[in-house]
Amino acid sequence: MTLQFSLGSAAPETVDTPCVVVGVYENGVLTSAAARVDTAAHGAIKRQVESGDINGKAGTTTLLYAPEGVTAKRVLVVGLGTQKTLDGARYQRVNSEAVRALGRLPIDSAVSYLSEVDVPGHDAIWRVRTAALAADHAAYRYTATFKPRDKSPQPELGALTLAAGHEAQIGLDQAVAMAEGVRFARELANLPPNICNPAYIADQASRFADQHDKVSCKVLDHEVMGELGFGSLLAVGRGSANKPKLVVLEYKGGAEGDKPYAFVGKGITFDTGGISLKPGPGMEEMKFDMGGAAGVLGSFVATVKLGLPVNLVCVVPAVENMPDGDSYRPGDVLTSLSGLTIEVLNTDAEGRLILCDALTYTAQTFQPKVLIDAATLTGACVIALGKHASGVMSKHDDLAAELIAAGEHALDRAWRLPLWDEYQVQLESGFADVANIGGKNAGAITAGCFLARFTEGQRWAHLDIAGTAWDEGRKGLATGRPVSLLVQWLIDRSV
């Protein structure tokens, strides 16, 4: 079920809803909405604060059922933490926890007054957008499940009203479009790899294009790519029965003749490592190795839904990396679309091999004003930055700064890593122009340096989302990152 959002301005003590959501700070201070509910309920919230049942710690929730004097059937009190240190990240978190708590209740709708909470440095538009995005993310359920469904499920949260004036409508509109893009990315990445293969991604892109004006889709199959010279990309897919596809989406929302922005996403629909086979434990998570493709496709969806006045190209090299008698090998030398030759030292460093051809194709075909790729590229980036920040690499200081600022605003954060020429020596080869790995040191950076060789003359940035694209573990789901970052970056370019 997709969560439906609206804005409302009714008083919290009189709004007719199955549940009203208000906040309390850690020091016992009530927000204005909580104070109004407390007054109408004859001190019901303050009594729980005084008894210690409500402590105000960030993300904690307490449910009051049918308090006398309040129209709502329930009041959910959410802890906001210390008032003086409330920031955007904590605001996002408390909204997420509120919706998780609402999702455990037998209700189909609620009204939240957390969108009125003051967050220093942010206006009502940002608060509404962030609250809605956090709520949608928390309410997401993997819908393409193969488990039997409960025949008589209890009511599910399907509608959330956020307290705000009409001036915040733009924030809600942005949130709805961005949330649709995030859900598109998450659903695609969460699918099992026997369903989400290169042909499936191509089909989903084609369907989206058919349903929207100003959008077109072209799919290059392995035969066409072979004729064009995609020697690096095709080598990666040689061992799979699922043949590679290059998916090209175009959105013409800007002025005719305006150069487009271009997003390229790594689409390894399953990565065994090829001949350089990965360890078995945890290999099932390699269905998420197309997180970059999912992210740029989700960003494309959100951009179209928002109707941003930009021209945008989205290119996805969709490939499966499998071991087989025809698989490419360590020691092979590949000729890329650019003409540069590549010595393969490890077939598990395959993402850069499909991206280099896709980046070359995108640059040659569209001459974009900016070229950005997103990829679950290296475990080294996870070691460096963990699960909280994506890695940004670019030779253009202004572009890197723009992306980092967009991530901060959207709370889809990224951190810059160097892309200095000094690292290029690690990619030297005695048998080709470049090797596909640079050794154990600075692995995320040398992967970026590899891609830099194929983006000369381009205003280009690389996002390594290996740590941020999905949550680890048997029940870990795709996050939909970096959709919010990329869409915010485009919003910033269109104002």
Catalytic machinery residues: 278, 352
Cβ atoms < 10 Å from Cβ of 316: 29
Total length of the chain: 495
What order do you get walking across the sheet with 74-79 strand by strand? 4-8, 159-163, 109-112, 20-24, 74-79, 61-65
Report the alpha-carbon distance of residue 412 to residue 467 in Å, rounded.
Answer: 12
Q: Based on the number of CB atoms within 10 Å of its own CB, is 481 exposed (0-12), middle (13-18) or buried (19 or more)?
A: buried
**In the block, residue with structure tokens 């970052």:** 485
Q: Which of 374, 354, 123 is nearest to 263 (CA)?
A: 374
Report the alpha-carbon distance of residue 133 to residue 120 in Å, rounded.
Answer: 19
**In the block, residue with structure tokens 């209700």:** 107
Phi, psi of 300 (to 5 degrees): -65, -45
Q: What is the CA radius of gyration of the chain?
A: 24
CB-facing half-sphere around the CA of 289: CA atoms within 13 A:
30
Tokens found for residue 198: 């290169």
Report the alpha-carbon distance of residue 222 to residue 272 in Å, rounded.
Answer: 20
